[in-house]
């Protein structure tokens, strides 16, 4: 019987993690359970930094970015010795289950920890990249694209004033979801992402055609994992092969921060409560997600090994809107 739940955030931070923590804590207390916050991710479990959380401990955090439990990437947890120590502390605090909020690496760690120790675990998708299979939405994604769009809007002002082309680099080493959504919302002329092959010549021709049609400025959104080269290299190629005055803007880690959007808070809260209810229903070894606005469950193995497909419809719409 589940009576004591541990919760931690791991890997990269993302806005909405606090709302998810709040959902877990209050969902657990509502169901008569005790919940324990584990600070600094798996590293905190190894060190034994575990404290009981009350409803008041998570009051006033829903509108804060980052995570009150802090987060870390634990090299020690990658070793059997580290996981053994983590399990000892798990047992020391009489935990019955563990909820991990994090991305691909964090949920892989949870799956391995479960396989070795037999503990009960549930994963929540916490990553701005939105790249986990089995959910339409990951915690942090909506805020990240809104931060990126706000930056693109500001960059467009100066691009228009100086009649320039700006290449805006957004996060996404292996997935282009942030790039696609922010480019579409920001009215970009093109999107360069890891999942598709970029033809620099065609890109330059397209940008030149836009100029001939009377475009006074252009924005190209580039995912950091774009395979043709880094954004500075791409900018040099465009400058060499077009008449555009080219500038580069790298948004970086600002995309991880910021006040969570309303949708972020709502969905993260739903996921937090759903994780507790899943444990009470006897589920384990799954990631709780949202598919077609309905809570869904995907095995941790599928969540971290299967590739989440892109919806090519977004790319098509962006192409149509930028072509005329």
Confidence of residue 77 (pLDDT cuts 50, 70, 90): very high
Segment 211-230 mean pLDDT: 91
Select which of 13, 115, 129, 281 is catalytic: 129
Tell me which residue of 65, 68, 73 sits closest to 7, measured CA to CA.
68
**Which residues, other chains included, contact 218 with Cβ-Cβ below 8 Å and sequence gap of 6+?**
159, 165, 166, 189, 207, 210, 211, 244
Q: Give catalytic status of residue 96 as yes or no.
A: no
Residue 229 has pLDDT above 90, yes or no: no
Say how far apart CA 103 and CA 126 lie, in whole Å. 5
Q: Does domain 141-254+312-322 have CATH number 3.90.79.10?
A: no
Say how far apart CA 151 and CA 130 lie, in whole Å. 20
| φ, ψ for residue 72, nearest 5 deg | -160, 160
Q: What is the pLDDT of residue 303?
A: 98
Q: What is the pLDDT of residue 233?
A: 94
CATH fold match for the domains 4-140+261-305 and 141-254+312-322: yes
Segment 208-217 mean pLDDT: 90
Residue 323 has pLDDT above 90, yes or no: no
pTM of the model: 0.95
Residue 228 has pLDDT above 90, yes or no: no
Considering only the top CATH level, what class is 4-140+261-305?
alpha beta
Residue pair 281/288 in contact (Cβ under 8 Å)? The answer is: no
For the chain, give the secondary structure using H, E and C: CCCEEEEEECCCCCCCHHHHHHHHHHHHHHCCCEEEEECCHHHHHHHCCEEEECCHHHCCCCCCCCCCCCCCCCCHHHCHHHHHHHHHHHHHCCCCEEEEEECHHHHHHHHHHHHHHCCCEEEEEECCCCCCCCCCCCECHHHHHHHHHHHHHHHHHHHHHHCCEEEEEECCCCCCHHHHHHHHHHCCCEEECCCCCCCHHHHHHHHHHHHHCCCCCEEEEEECCCCCCCHHHHHHHHHHHCCCCEEEEECHHHHHCCCCCHHHHHHHHHHHHHHHHHHHCCCCCEEEEEECCEEEEEEHHHHHHCCCCCCHHHHHHHHHHHCC
Residue 253 has pLDDT above 90, yes or no: yes
Say how far apart CA 242 and CA 231 lie, in whole Å. 16
The pLDDT tens digits for 119-153 are: 999 999 999 999 999 999 999 999 999 999 999 99
Residue 208 has pLDDT above 90, yes or no: yes
Residue pair 19/62 in contact (Cβ under 8 Å)? The answer is: yes
The pLDDT tens digits for 263-290 are: 999 999 999 999 999 999 999 999 999 9
Confidence of residue 13 (pLDDT cuts 50, 70, 90): very high
Residue 227 has pLDDT above 90, yes or no: no
Q: What is the pLDDT of residue 324?
A: 78
Task: For the chain, give every domain's residue range.
Answer: 4-140+261-305, 141-254+312-322
| φ, ψ for residue 60, nearest 5 deg | 75, 20
Residue 173 has pLDDT above 90, yes or no: no
Residue 162 has pLDDT above 90, yes or no: yes
The upper half-sphere exposure of residue 176, i.e. CA atoms within 13 Å in the direction of its Cβ, equals 24
CA distances from 238 to 200, 224, 245 (A): 8, 17, 9
Segment 33-62 mean pLDDT: 98
């Amino acid at each position: 019987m589940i009576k004591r739940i541990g919760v931690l955030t791991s890997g990269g931070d993302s806005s909405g993690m606090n709302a998810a923590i709040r959902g877990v804590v209050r969902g657990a207390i509502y169901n008569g359970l005790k919940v324990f916050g584990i600070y600094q991710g798996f590293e905190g479990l190894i060190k034994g930094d575990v404290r009981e959380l009350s409803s008041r401990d998570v009051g006033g955090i829903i509108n804060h970015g980052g995570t009150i439990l802090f987060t870390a990437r634990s090299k020690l947890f990658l070793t059997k010795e580290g996981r053994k120590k983590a399990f000892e502390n798990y047992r020391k605090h009489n935990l019955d289950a563990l909820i991990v909020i994090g991305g691909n690496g964090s949920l892989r760690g949870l799956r391995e920890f479960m396989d070795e120790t037999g503990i009960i675990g549930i994963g929540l998708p916490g990553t701005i990249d939105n790249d986990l299979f089995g959910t339409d939405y990951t915690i942090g994604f909506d805020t990240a694209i809104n931060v990126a769009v706000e930056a693109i809007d500001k960059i467009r002002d100066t691009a228009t004033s100086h009649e320039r082309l700006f290449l805006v680099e957004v996060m996404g080493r292996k997935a282009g979801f942030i790039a696609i959504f922010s480019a579409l919302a920001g009215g970009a002329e093109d999107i360069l992402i890891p999942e598709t092959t970029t033809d620099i010549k065609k890109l330059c021709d397209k940008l030149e055609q836009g100029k001939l049609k009377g475009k006074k400025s252009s924005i190209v959104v580039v995912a950091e994992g774009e395979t043709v080269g880094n954004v500075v290299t791409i900018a040099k190629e465009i400058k060499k092969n077009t008449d555009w005055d080219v500038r580069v803007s790298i948004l970086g880690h600002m995309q991880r921060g910021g006040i969570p959007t309303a949708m972020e808070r709502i969905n993260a809260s739903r996921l937090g409560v759903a994780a507790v209810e899943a444990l009470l229903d006897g589920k384990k070894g799954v990631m709780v997600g949202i598919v077609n606005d309905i809570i869904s469950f995907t095995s941790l193995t599928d969540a971290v090994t299967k590739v989440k497909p892109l919806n090519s419809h977004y790319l098509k719409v962006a192409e149509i809107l930028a072509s005329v």
